[in-house]
Amino acid sequence: MVHINENFAKLPAGYLFTEIGRRVSEYQRLNPDAQIIRMGIGDVTLPLPKACIEAMHNAVNEMATSEGFRGYGPEQGYEFLQQKISHYDYKKYGVDIATDEIFVSDGAKSDTGNIGDILGINNKIAVTDPVYPVYVDTNVMAGRAGHLQADGCWSNIVYMPVNAENNFVPDLPKEDVSVIYLCFPNNPTGTTLTRSQLKVWVDYALEHKALILFDAAYEAFITEADVPHSIYEIDGAKKVAIEFRSYSKTAGFTGTRCSYTVVPKECVAYDDSGKAYALNNFWRRRQCTKFNGTPYIVQRGAEAIYTEEGQQQVKQIVNYYLHNAQIIRNSLSAKGFAVYGGINSPYVWVKTDGTDSWKFFDYLLHEKHIVTTPGVGFGPSGEGYVRLTAFNTLEKTQEAMARI
């Protein structure tokens, strides 16, 4: 008899964005004339930067020749891309990251989900609340989460609320935790931590021999000087943090798929006897076994982001979305809504008029034909909020705000 992984049976039936997609399709089916504006899932709308397109065309042409053809590539990515990452994403901020500490992959979603493979089942996990659902769901799948309680929290996960009352800065957990997921600029709230606020977490991890899984997928949207671009800007972080980056929102790669994860060689985890193991070796071993690398053509496209034209084009894309975010912020606060985020982030976190998240989601969908993401879908502390993304076109963003 084949046995199922029973942890999957504990999960709510649908992944958050799949459930939203289902509700929207159903509504559209019943109301075919409704002009729906999508500000729910953070999917981009602008085309890929020209520099990336050109580089990918060239790579396709290379693949058409016997000299240029490539089969399996290095599982952890080609050195040409790792070198650019090391130089432009880290050296620029005074951080030394070696190429063999960079693992190119197909998405921060998969890497933040898969990283649990190299961590023990008995780790005590801490997440902010609200939180990107992948961190929680993958720990449920792995059997680290315990059971779902009536309050919407998993019994073995430590939740650190972030809300207007604490200025969206999580407090250190009261109980001892060993793995902490932090995402800044934050998905879903769009808020950030300053250097000194992030240092508190690095110091905690150093003191408790804990690990921080730092999701920096929205780094390119940072506009304020005191917001760190990388956790490694904080002293000691290389010993206790893994960082995830993505080209999805920055360069329109949501469908093209390319990202990377940094696992510094000095970052360790321990066995029961207290012996330390380098996570870099474990992640390499995991990737070589389960992953065959991001396609060469895609990595050449990503490399082009670091050319002069690429940098300019990406900046334009980011500014376009940040401008949309500003429109959303200004329009909704003029209507009397409390709004957060959207300054260093493409996400605007909006307090509803007092109705619960799903009711407000339904109201906006049915009455205004606007798709949002209900805050409670990101965790119990998201109740009473919805998230709007700035990833639509300028015209549709303006139209949505006019409808509200």
Contact positions vs ligand MLT (CB under 6 A): 41-43, 109, 187
Q: How far is the CB of 109 from ligand MLT (least distance, A)?
A: 4
State how far the alpha carbon of 56 is from the alpha carbons of 249, 291, 340, in Å. Answer: 18, 22, 37
Cβ proximity to ligand MLT: between 202 and 242 the closer is 242
Q: Minimum CB separation from ligand MLT for residue 391, in Å? A: 8
Please report, in angstroms and rounded to a whole number, the separation of the first and last CA atoms in the chain.
55
Residue closest to ligand MLT, measured at CB: 42
In angstroms, give the least distance from the CB of 361 to ligand MLT. Answer: 14
Decide whether 248 or 313 has the Cβ nearer to ligand MLT.
Answer: 248
Q: With respect to ligand MLT, which residue has the nearer C-beta, 18 or 333? A: 18
Q: How far apart are CA 398 and CA 85, in angstroms?
A: 35
3-state secondary structure (DSSP) of residue 389:
strand
Based on CB atoms, which residue is closest to ligand MLT, 23 or 208? 23
- 122: phi then psi, degrees, rounded to nearest 5: -90, 5
Q: Which residues contact 283 (CB under 8 A, 6 or more apart)?
A: 103, 115, 118, 242, 261, 263
Which C-beta is closer to ligand MLT: that of 261 or that of 280?
Answer: 261
Closest Cα to residue 258, out of 290, 214, 296, 287?
Answer: 296
Least distance between ligand MLT and beta carbon 42 (Å): 3
Strand, coil or helix: 329:
helix
Nearer to ligand MLT, 178 or 259 (CB): 259
Min. distance of Cβ 244 from ligand MLT in angstroms?
11
Residue 144 or 249 with smaller CB distance to ligand MLT: 249
Helices 394-403 and 308-334 cross at an angle (nearest 10°) of 10
List CB contacts of 328: < 8 A, sequence separation 6 or more. Answer: 39, 339, 342, 348, 388, 390, 397, 401
Q: Least distance (Å) from ligand MLT to the CB of residue 41?
A: 4
Q: Are 158 and 125 in contact (CB under 8 A)?
A: yes
The CA–CA distances, whole Å, from 43 to 21, 93, 141, 386 equal 12, 28, 25, 16
- Taking the complex as a whole, how short is the minimal distance between the CB of residue 40 and ligand MLT, in angstroms? 7
